[in-house]
Chains A and B, each alone.
Chain A
Amino acid sequence: MSNDTNSIDMSSIERRQFDTLIIGAGGGGLRASLQLAEADLSVAVVSKVFPTRSHTVAAQGGMNAALANVSPDNWHWHMFDTVKGGDYLGDQDSIEYMCRAAPKAVYELEHFGVPFSRLDNGKIYQRAFGGQSQNFGGDQAARTCAAADRTGHAILHSLYQQNIRAKTHFFDEYFAVDLLKDDEGRVLGAVVFNIQDGQITVIEAKTTLLATGGAGQLFKTTTNALINTGDGMGMAMRAGIPLQDMEFFQFHPTGIAGRGMLITEGARGEGGYLVNGDGERLMERYAPKAKDLASRDVVSRAIAIEVREGRGCGPNKDHVMLKLDHLGEAVIQKRLPGIRQTCITFLGIDPAEAPIPVFPTAHYTMGGIPTNRYGQVVVPVKDTPEEPVAGLYAAGECACVSVHGGNRLGGNSLLDILVFGRAAANHIIGYLKENKYHRVIDDEVIKKVVEKVNRFDQQGSGDETVAGLRKELKQTMEEHCSVFRNKEILKQGVDKVEQLAQRMKNVKVDDQSFTFNTARVEAFELENLMACALATIHSAYAREESRGAHSRTDFIERDDKSWMRHSLYSFENGLDYKPVRTRPLSVESFPPKPRVY
């Protein structure tokens, strides 16, 4: 890699050609690549970490499918629960498609070697999760298929092995910088570099699929791994594509403060309770009846309010405490052994002896790159709200298809990545029959992107560091765009994030070496996070209602008349909106109703 952009010798840069380039090797990317490789297409998968280290591995809960192995069930009930859970912001055609496809997706995984847990009769075991009902809101359903408590791990490893067998080409530990686009707006691949040695490769592809996962690293307290920096979303925004519904971010009320890992609701179910800095049981004020077992959003907001109003715990008064010690060591060891071990390992605190510091933790990005149910990335063009971008697809958490609407149900994220990874691949197969040949990419287009690879080595005054800006961004997002949102707080947040984005221009990477230059990679990741932050906070500030995970203290009701629409935010046009697709494929639409459980 040269330090002088003017001296980049284009002939020295490696160029590779594939039918499809997939960026991201989690469950969505690998499900798509397998489908394509088995169709005898040439597929490249670019992943910044070794594929089986993708965040899918952390999905413990399972995958929803109406198999009716444990309780009566059908896909239509699953669809109702998903529409309702998403607070009527989800697109009902995509939701119907997903719920109908779910059983087949599970059986496919079984054939790929995923060891699902079994019932005594040999059928796949299914567990009950929140938000699952029989008969459109009736009795609890048991819909989640699981491979013990390591479903994501089992799926990811099985898909990886299948891809090796199918001869998918992997670019492990390569970082994708930007998409290649021609004058007509077609996406023709991407420029990537090898993290090990800095070598740049231009990957020309007839079709490109973004499957880069979520952006949980936007927040100081998050359950997400460090790799979840919204890379595909940032690339899409720089390519002129808006991000959709980014204000909808799912939080869990009790993450370990300053670390992020979940303390399951089971801890409060066993009798644990929250106390503030004054030693008061705070939930008695916010939910006198349900107290500590109130719904997630109520508990999350109560914690945030206590901290905002100066009743937090610790030297910075930035968290509250979850008390379990009154339960006694025997109960904790028997019922909550995992939590005990986690606290001892990460905090040096035994919850049998001392309370656990907790704060709401960011968990899942409902928004993302707008797609239709075929995985095609869609953008508004003139009066058409959803015009496909030729050659570009997205699937999984980085995409917004939108099946989760304003709030994702447990067990629907693994389902989403597998169903829409496969759907995108099937559409790509059809597209490639009509588009058999590589298009010529203008050298100037490639050169412009290649030159960007060095931008953090050359630009900027060096007054800003990546670590410093990242810390400020995460803190700002936590204070201004977490579970406690109103006009004043969000406006301050908008101003601060805009300033941070400006300061990004002063970032200069001092380490300009080629070998494992993680500083350079982290600069690109921060740039992607910054794009996601702008989309998130602008969309949240503008949406004057409470819906799903977006909860405003100054607009506490859902407002279907004004706001049953998707937000779109782009660098070029700022905010825009498009209608929710309320018409399913084959059944009656579910009209919006109060979301009561």
Chain B
Amino acid sequence: MKTQISTVSNYRWQCRRGMLELDLLLNNFVDKEVINLTVEQQQTFEQLLSYPDQTLLDLLLGNSVSSDLSISGIVQQIQHTSFD
């Protein structure tokens, strides 16, 4: 099942964060990849978005690693989404 447009808009707003680094990384992922996520991956992404900004930043910049494999998987997907 593919992600719906209204959900993409919702994600886009949830990706408005207090730090520019998070804005760029998360919105880039939403623009390019979120439409292809499975329902399970969507749920993991939503869980990730519920984290505090500083925790998110540490995960996405590689300063910390989640022991939850599904979270670390989606973190890697975000990190590897090209800005081109």
- Taken together as a complex, chains A and B put the C-alpha atoms of A55 and B25 apart, in Å, by 16
Chain B window 1-30, contacts with chain A (Cβ cutoff 8 Å), 1 for yes, 0 for no: 000001001101100111111111101000
- Taken together as a complex, chains A and B put the C-alpha atoms of A223 and B23 apart, in Å, by 11
Closest chain A residue, CB of each to CB of B54 = A153
Task: Tell whether, in the assembled complex, residue B18 and residue A57 are in contact, meaning their CB atoms are under 8 Å apart.
Answer: yes
Beyond A345-B25, A515-B6, whether A225 also contacts B12 by CB under 8 A is: no
Contacts of B17 in A (CB 8 A): 49, 53, 57, 225, 227
Does B73 reach chain A (CB closer than 8 Å)?
no
- Taken together as a complex, chains A and B put the C-alpha atoms of A518 and B62 apart, in Å, by 30
Contacts of A227 in B (CB 8 A): 16-18
B52 interface neighbour in A52, A58, A223, A338, Cβ under 8 Å:
A52
- Taken together as a complex, chains A and B put the C-alpha atoms of A525 and B22 apart, in Å, by 19
Chain B window 51-75, contacts with chain A (Cβ cutoff 8 Å), 1 for yes, 0 for no: 0111000001111000000000000
Nearest chain B CB to A212's CB is how many angstroms away?
A: 13
Closest chain B residue, CB of each to CB of A54 = B18
Beyond A53-B53, A57-B53, A150-B54, whether A342 also contacts B21 by CB under 8 A is: yes
Beyond A153-B53, A153-B54, A342-B61, whether A226 also contacts B16 by CB under 8 A is: yes
Size of the A side of the interface (Cβ < 8 Å), in residues, is: 38
Task: Tell whether, in the assembled complex, residue B20 and residue A153 are in contact, meaning their CB atoms are under 8 Å apart.
Answer: no
Does B79 reach chain A (CB closer than 8 Å)?
yes
A223 interface neighbour in B10, B12, B20, B62, Cβ under 8 Å:
B20
Task: Tell whether, in the assembled complex, residue B13 and residue A153 are in contact, meaning their CB atoms are under 8 Å apart.
Answer: no
Task: Tell whether, in the assembled complex, residue B23 and residue A225 are in contact, meaning their CB atoms are under 8 Å apart.
Answer: yes
Closest chain B residue, CB of each to CB of A216 = B20
Most buried by A among B17, B22, B60, B82: B17
- Taken together as a complex, chains A and B put the C-alpha atoms of A257 and B6 apart, in Å, by 32
Contacts of B54 in A (CB 8 A): 57, 150, 153
Task: Tell whether, in the assembled complex, residue A226 and residue B20 are in contact, meaning their CB atoms are under 8 Å apart.
Answer: yes
Nearest chain A CB to B33's CB is how many angstroms away?
A: 16
Nearest chain A CB to B31's CB is how many angstroms away?
A: 12
Nearest chain B CB to A454's CB is how many angstroms away?
A: 18
Nearest chain A CB to B72's CB is how many angstroms away?
A: 16
Nearest chain A CB to B30's CB is how many angstroms away?
A: 11
Beyond A57-B53, A341-B61, A342-B61, whether A517 also contacts B20 by CB under 8 A is: no
Does A516 reach chain B (CB closer than 8 Å)?
yes
Contacts of B9 in A (CB 8 A): 515-518
Nearest chain B CB to A223's CB is how many angstroms away?
A: 6
Task: Tell whether, in the assembled complex, residue A173 and residue B20 are in contact, meaning their CB atoms are under 8 Å apart.
Answer: no
Does A597 reach chain B (CB closer than 8 Å)?
no
Closest chain B residue, CB of each to CB of A521 = B13
Task: Tell whether, in the assembled complex, residue A261 and residue B21 are in contact, meaning their CB atoms are under 8 Å apart.
Answer: yes
Task: Tell whether, in the assembled complex, residue B20 and residue A261 are in contact, meaning their CB atoms are under 8 Å apart.
Answer: yes
Does A207 reach chain B (CB closer than 8 Å)?
no
Task: Tell whether, in the assembled complex, residue A225 and residue B62 are in contact, meaning their CB atoms are under 8 Å apart.
Answer: no
Task: Tell whether, in the assembled complex, residue A173 and residue B13 are in contact, meaning their CB atoms are under 8 Å apart.
Answer: yes
Closest chain A residue, CB of each to CB of B50 = A50
Closest chain A residue, CB of each to CB of B55 = A153
A residues 212-263 touching B (CB-CB < 8 Å): 222-227, 259-261
Task: Tell whether, in the assembled complex, residue B24 and residue A341 are in contact, meaning their CB atoms are under 8 Å apart.
Answer: no
- Taken together as a complex, chains A and B put the C-alpha atoms of A422 and B49 apart, in Å, by 31
Closest chain B residue, CB of each to CB of A50 = B14
- Taken together as a complex, chains A and B put the C-alpha atoms of A259 and B83 apart, in Å, by 10
Contacts of A338 in B (CB 8 A): 61
Contacts of B79 in A (CB 8 A): 345
- Taken together as a complex, chains A and B put the C-alpha atoms of A156 and B82 apart, in Å, by 32
Chain A window 342-368, contacts with chain B (Cβ cutoff 8 Å), 1 for yes, 0 for no: 100111100000000000000000000
Nearest chain A CB to B12's CB is how many angstroms away?
A: 5
- Taken together as a complex, chains A and B put the C-alpha atoms of A52 and B22 apart, in Å, by 14
Nearest chain B CB to A211's CB is how many angstroms away?
A: 14
Beyond A346-B24, A515-B9, whether A56 also contacts B60 by CB under 8 A is: no
- Taken together as a complex, chains A and B put the C-alpha atoms of A160 and B10 apart, in Å, by 23
Does A157 reach chain B (CB closer than 8 Å)?
yes
A residues 64-84 touching B (CB-CB < 8 Å): none
Contacts of A341 in B (CB 8 A): 61-63
5 residue pairs A–B, Cβ–Cβ below 8 Å: A52-B18, A226-B16, A341-B62, A345-B60, A346-B25
A53-B17, A196-B10 given; name 11 further pairs at CB < 8 Å: A49-B17, A57-B54, A58-B19, A153-B53, A195-B13, A225-B16, A225-B22, A259-B24, A342-B61, A346-B24, A346-B83
